Structures are given as structure tokens and as C-alpha cells.
């Protein structure tokens, strides 16, 4: 049996990252839809972006511990994309990404997340994990506004170059990316749900706290169960990743990819459910920019739309299930 509770090292990492997010006032950045390169480099200085690399002092389990704190604080930045890139790039560029010196955009043109700020573009084929290309935009990048405040861009023309090592490490990169995405989304969902529960506990209608009504309490409970399951799957995927790529067990890339895919799909469903339920609980105050919920829910919806999309995760999970019954 695998113990999926954070150990002392994991708790220390999560607490240290949470304290950093509080000092950096990441919630204020999220409310203002701002990205701070200085804060991004400070996060890199903590060693977070180097986790699960030869230069890092920890693997995927430590990365998930850090990402849980970053998700609760909705820390802005291309976190899953950075973990994706560090699994594929050669040492000089990998180190630059891990140090926060190189910002990565991962996606498929014409719409690329973080394109206006990116230093490196990785273009993916969502149907083939081994097909990753280095992209070089040809022409201007048109900035686009997004719901979650991330700086996306329209890139009409891109010159593609095969990325060396993508065929060998593409599955590993997708697995770590989806595990990171799951940890972030589940943590953001927990933060939003905690705010909704507190509102339900203190908001009084008809002489009673609204949390005492079953129509409010039961959806909150359902969302909590879904989020707890998603967080568990993210931690399980991290354990599988470390056992496959850093442990003594024989590598099982397909199983690792399937666990990560299941975690991502579960976290996407659970976090979107939490956003829906929370907005029902908050009512009109939930959609105000200065309110307690919108900066969290829009980040959750932004995460749900990040490339690579869910299709590749579903395909990986389906292939694993078919393999089991074959």
C-alpha cells in the first residue's frame, strides 16, 4: 500500500512555498491579472521549477507538494508548461527554464498561451506525445485577453524544428505536465471551496446559516469528495512517475502516463464542479472582481483550457484500460 499523505519533507516544501506565496502576495497578483517576472524568478530560486530534473533536489512528489501550495494561492505563471519543457530540453535550456530565466509557451498555433512574454515556444501535436517541435514565430504576435488573465497570443506563422529527444521523452513530459496540472487545479478548487464553505457558515437567511440547508450543504459535500479524490490521484501519479523514472522498478511509461491522465481528468472535473457550486453559494458577490471567488474560479477555468487538451489524456487512459482487459 502506498502512503499518499505528504511526509515531513513534503509538508516542509508545501509550507515553505505557501509562505513564499504570502510574501509575494500572489492573491493580489491573481486579482489584478498580473504576472511578475521578479516573483517568477524568486520561485525558481526556491528550486521548484528544477524538481524532477537532474539538477533538482526532489522528484514529482516534491513537485506536487509545492504545486498544491501554488494552486491554493493561484500563483501566476506557466507552471505545467515549465515542467513539460524541463523533461525535453537539453541541459543549457533546461537549466535556464528551471532558473526562471526562460519563459515557455507550450501549445498549438495559432493560439499560444504566454506567447507575448515567452522566450521559448514548444509546439505540440496533441495526438502524438512524441511529436514536439521547437517553434519560431514568423511575424508579430497579437496579444489576446483571456478570462484567467494569462497573456495568450495569436501566432499565425511558425517555423517548426524537430525537438531532439521528444520521441524518447515525450510520454514522460506529458505525464509530469498532467500531474502538475492536476495538483494545481485540485488545490485551486480546494481554496475556492473553502471560501464557499466559510460563506455558507456565516451567511444567514430565514434566520439560519445557509449551510444548514441541504440544497447548499450537499453540493458542497459532493465537490469536496471530488476534489479530495483528484488530489489523491495527483499524488498517486507523482509516486508512479518517481517509481518509473527515478526508482528501481522497471520503467512502465504507459502506466505512468495513464495515472497522470486520470489525475488530470479527475482534477478538471472536480475543480470545475467546485467553481460551479461555489458561485451558486456566493450568488452575485461571486462574480465581482473584488469578491472572494472570481479570481479563483477564473483561474480554474483557465487551467481547464490549457493545452495540451483533454483528448490526449482520455486517449492515454483508454489505451491503458484496453490493455488491462486484453
The CATH code of the domain that includes 287 is: 1.20.140.10
Count structural domains, the chain: 1
> Per-residue pLDDT averaged across 274-279, rounded?
97
Length of the chain as a residue count: 326
- 107 beta partners: 123
C-alpha closest to that of 133 among 105, 154, 153, 114: 105
Scan for cell 497573456, then name that residue.
Answer: 151
- For residue 292, being part of any structural domain is answered with yes
Share of the chain above pLDDT 90, in %: 75
Structural contact between residues 187 and 66, judged by C-beta atoms closer than 8 angstroms: no
In a domain, 62, yes or no: no
The Cα angle at residue 183 between residues 186 and 284, in degrees rounded to 5:
30
Residue 208 covered by a domain = yes
Integer Cα distance of 116 and 136 in angstroms: 13
For the segment 128-138, what is each residue's pLDDT rounded down to a tens digit?
Answer: 766 899 999 99
109 within some domain = no
pLDDT score of 247: 59
Domain holding 174, by residue range, is 169-325
Asked whether residue 320 is assigned to any structural domain, the reply reads: yes
Three cell numbers, residue 224: 469536496
List phi, psi (to 5°) of 59: -115, -150
Minimum mean pLDDT range among 46-60, 87-101, 158-172, 205-219 = 158-172
Structure confidence at residue 159 as a pLDDT band (50, 70, 90): confident
Bridge partner residues of 154 (DSSP) = 111, 142
Q: pLDDT tier at 299 (50, 70, 90 boundaries)?
A: very high
Residue 250 has pLDDT above 60, yes or no: no
User: Given a cut of 80, is residue 248 above it in pLDDT?
Assistant: no
Region at 125 (left for phi over 0; alpha for psi -120 to 50; beta for the rest): beta
- Residue 234, C-beta contacts closer than 8 angstroms, at least 6 positions apart: 64, 179, 182, 183, 186, 263, 267
Asked if pLDDT for residue 127 goes beyond 80, the answer is no
Omega within 30 of 0 (cis) for the link into 51: no
Average pLDDT score over residue span 39-44: 97
What is the strand order of the sheet 152-154 is part of? 111-112, 152-154, 142-144
Binning pLDDT at 50, 70 and 90, where does residue 41 land?
Answer: very high
Answer yes or no: is pLDDT of 1 > 70.
Answer: no
**Greater confidence, 15 or 317?**
15
pLDDT at residue 317, rounded to an integer: 87
Q: Which helix (H) or strand (E) holds 252?
A: none
Give per-residue pLDDT as tens, 188-228. Answer: 999 999 999 999 999 999 999 999 999 999 999 999 999 99
Higher pLDDT, 118 or 157: 118
* Residue 246 pLDDT exceeds 90: no
Beta bridge partners of 205: 208
Pick the closest to residue 132 from 160, 109, 111, 154 (CA basis). Answer: 160
Pairs from 209-215 (Cβ < 8 Å, separation ≥ 24): 210/281
**H or E element in which residue 205 lies:** strand 204-205
Q: Residue 251 pLDDT > 70, yes or no?
A: no
| In-domain check, residue 81 | no
The pLDDT of residue 85 is 97
Kindly report, residue by residue over 278-293, the tens digit of the pLDDT. 999 999 998 888 888 9
User: Residue 298 above 90 pLDDT?
Assistant: yes
Identify whether 227 is part of a domain: yes
Tell me if 274 is assigned to some domain.
yes
Amino acid at each position: 500500500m502506498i502512503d499518499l499523505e505528504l511526509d515531513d519533507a513534503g509538508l516542509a516544501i508545501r509550507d515553505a512555498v505557501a509562505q513564499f506565496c504570502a510574501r509575494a502576495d500572489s492573491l493580489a497578483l491573481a486579482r489584478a491579472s498580473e504576472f511578475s517576472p521578479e516573483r517568477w524568478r524568486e520561485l525558481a530560486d526556491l528550486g521548484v521549477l528544477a524538481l524532477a530534473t537532474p539538477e533538482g533536489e526532489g522528484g514529482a512528489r516534491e513537485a506536487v507538494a509545492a504545486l498544491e501550495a501554488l494552486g491554493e494561492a493561484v500563483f501566476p505563471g506557466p507552471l505545467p508548461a515549465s515542467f513539460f519543457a524541463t523533461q525535453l530540453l537539453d541541459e543549457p535550456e533546461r537549466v535556464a527554464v528551471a532558473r526562471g530565466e526562460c519563459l515557455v509557451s507550450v501549445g498549438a498555433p495559432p493560439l499560444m498561451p504566454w506567447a507575448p512574454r515567452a522566450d521559448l515556444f514548444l509546439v505540440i501535436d496533441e495526438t502524438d506525445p512524441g511529436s514536439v517541435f521547437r517553434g519560431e514565430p514568423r511575424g508579430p504576435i497579437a496579444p489576446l485577453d483571456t478570462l484567467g488573465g494569462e497573456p495568450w497570443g495569436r501566432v499565425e506563422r511558425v517555423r517548426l524544428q524537430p525537438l531532439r529527444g521528444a520521441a524518447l521523452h515525450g510520454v514522460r513530459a506529458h505525464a509530469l505536465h498532467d500531474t502538475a496540472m492536476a495538483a494545481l487545479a485540485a488545490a485551486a478548487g480546494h481554496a475556492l471551496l473553502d471560501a464557499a464553505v466559510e460563506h455558507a457558515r456565516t451567511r444567514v437567511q430565514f434566520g439560519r446559516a445557509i449551510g444548514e440547508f441541504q440544497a447548499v450543504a450537499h453540493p458542497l459535500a459532493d465537490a469536496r469528495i471530488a476534489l479530495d479524490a483528484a488530489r489523491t490521484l495527483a499524488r498517486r501519479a507523482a509516486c508512479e512517475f518517481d517509481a518509473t523514472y527515478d526508482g528501481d522498478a522497471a520503467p512502465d511509461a504507459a502506466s505512468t502516463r495513464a495515472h497522470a491522465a486520470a489525475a488530470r481528468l479527475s482534477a478538471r472535473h472536480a475543480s470545475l464542479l467546485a467553481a460551479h457550486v461555489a458561485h451558486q453559494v456566493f450568488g452575485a458577490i461571486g462574480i465581482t472582481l473584488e469578491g472572494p471567488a472570481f479570481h479563483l474560479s477564473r483561474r480554474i477555468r483557465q487551467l481547464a483550457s490549457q493545452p495540451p487538451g483533454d483528448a490526449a489524456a482520455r486517449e492515454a487512459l483508454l489505451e491503458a484500460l484496453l490493455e488491462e482487459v486484453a
